[in-house]
A and B are shown apart, each in its own frame.
Chain A
Amino acid sequence: MKYLVMVQGSQADYEAMSGKPSADSPAWSEKELQAMFAFMSELNNDLAESGELVDGQGLTEPAQTRFVSRDKDGRPVITDGPYGETKEVLAGYWVLDCESLERVTEIALRISECPSPEGVVDPPVVIRPLQDASGGEV
């Protein structure tokens, strides 16, 4: 079974990780950053070794978002960003191939233990089962 596992973050969180604090997000110190990078890199290596990792990516900051849509007359409308400073959006994801929902939940719990500075409250890790592209019994 394949699952999409997502972590979220806001523009303010991204700023804090590159050393610019805001009301809700204290700036990360060099040590705290290194601890987080090491935690994630170990997790990714473990998932690669167990064969469960299909794909895993981090997204650039929300400010670099581009929206593409149509107005009511069907004309294209293209806008760059912005999200609110504190709006939580997708910050990173894994596509995992796991035995069961229990197993992928275990992994999500491990992700939620990622070290962060005192006072940071992380949004929940989200698990969404992927639809299988091959047809099952009808």
Chain B
Amino acid sequence: MRPTTGTEDLLRLHAPQVLGALVRRYGHFGAAEDAVQEALLAAARQWPDQGLPENPRGWLIKVASRRLMDQLRADEARRRREEDAARLTPRDAFTAPPPGESRAPADDDTLTLLFLCCRPELSPAAQVALTLRAVGGLTTAEIARAHLVPEATMAQRISRAKAKIKGAPFRQPGPADRDARLAVVLQVLYLIFNEGYTATSGDALRRADLAREAIRLTRAVRRLLPREGPVTGLLALMLLTEARSAARTGPHGELIPLDEQDRTRWDRRAIAEGTALVEEALAQGPPGPYQLQAAIAALHDEAATPDSTDWPQILALYDILVRLTPEPMAGLGRTVAYAMVHGPHAGLDELASFEDELRGHYRLDAVRAHLLEKAGDTERARAAYRSAARGTLSRPEAHYLQTRAARLAP
């Protein structure tokens, strides 16, 4: 159903700008979003056969506007809504701007849309779905496939989300809560990335698209906000993580841990770009969690062999990270680094401080198992791997942990 890649990229590029233009002009986010989807589908059908229009964005805006008008008029006829009639008059004479010259800053619309899709009153799942559709230009079917849910479920989720933000003003948050709102946008982008990155075997191909989409959207945010440390840091973190993805799973989707990966399969170009971004991010003010995690990822990626990893430096970064974030997972990461620097027994002592908070959490068992194995306590390591395997709900992780337990069989 999808057009050729060239057309598809072009549509993805224009989708948020076309939607922004419509919402700015007419309001009605929900109806505008439907109209844009219809225009994108019409373009996907027509452009490959009939060739590209002179001004693709103008074409899309025109077609989407007509659809929206028809829709609003139909609504109005049906429900006699006075306020629609008023809104049907565009605020300025409608002509598509010539290329390279736009009346409204189209790029800013992308950011405004992101803020709109990531409004705090929406659940994270709804924020993700709406962002992928409104800003990413994905179809409901594609988003449903990526999340492995039926299309009807996803359609419902998206239309509920649209209903919820109905009437929200189409403008960026004011300076007072801008940082908090930007943090939510970044969190949603990171969530999309992780959904793609931690895909399981049978669906790996479909879901890897999500990681790429998250990187594309984060790049767009960075173009608009080049001097924001957290944005630069998040993009770096994504690139440095994604760089390892080819080496991260075996032929059957089995997980391969960092110290066993074939490092020649890491993407050097992504690592170079990510590393440069880390340096830039660290120069953009005091580092937050994204910058620190990106710096840690860069140190892993720069090591040609596991043994040449700069663990003391990684531990120093984790020491700052755990002071910034209450996340116990950051603490577990720090414990692993601590054990690499001070030995597995010292690491096991450190681990004791998480007993209460993470009791029964499989990650605690998994880290303990690794440290016990390194310490040569095979029997207890096996038991810890086993209970970690029992505790995770992720199939690839369960398989990996079972395999580690079996490897230590007497």
Contact = CB atoms under 8 A, between A and B. Distances in A.
Main secondary structure of the interface of A (DSSP, over half): helix
Given A27-B406, A30-B409, A34-B403, A18 B201 contact: no
Looking at chain B, what size class is its interface with the partner chain?
A: 20 to 34
A134 to B, nearest CB: 14
Contacts of A56: 202
Contact of B406 (A28, A48, A61, A64): A28
Contact of B202 (A14, A29, A45, A64): A45
Interface in A51-110: 53, 56, 58, 60-61, 63-64
A29 B407 CA distance: 7
Interface stretch (A1-9, A36-44, A122-130): A36-44
B171 interface: no
B254 A45 contact: no
Interface stretch (B127-135, B273-281, B347-355, B387-395): B387-395
Given A19-B405, A29-B409, A45-B201, A37 B390 contact: no
Contacts of B408: 19
Contacts of A48: 202-203
Max chain B Cβ within 10 angstroms of own Cβ: one of A17, A32, A48: A17
Given A34-B254, A42-B252, A29 B390 contact: no
Main secondary structure of the interface of B (DSSP, over half): helix
Looking at chain A, what size class is its interface with the partner chain?
A: 20 to 34
A111 interface: no
A56 B203 CA distance: 12
Given A27-B409, A28-B406, A37-B254, A60 B202 contact: no
A19 B201 contact: no
B386 interface: yes
Contacts of A34: 254, 403
B253 interface: yes
A112 to B, nearest CB: 20
Given A18-B406, A34-B403, A37-B399, 7 more contacts: A18-B386, A18-B402, A19-B405, A30-B409, A41-B202, A53-B202, A63-B390
A-B pairs, top 6 by smallest CB distance, nearest first, are: A30-B406, A41-B252, A38-B252, A19-B405, A44-B202, A18-B386
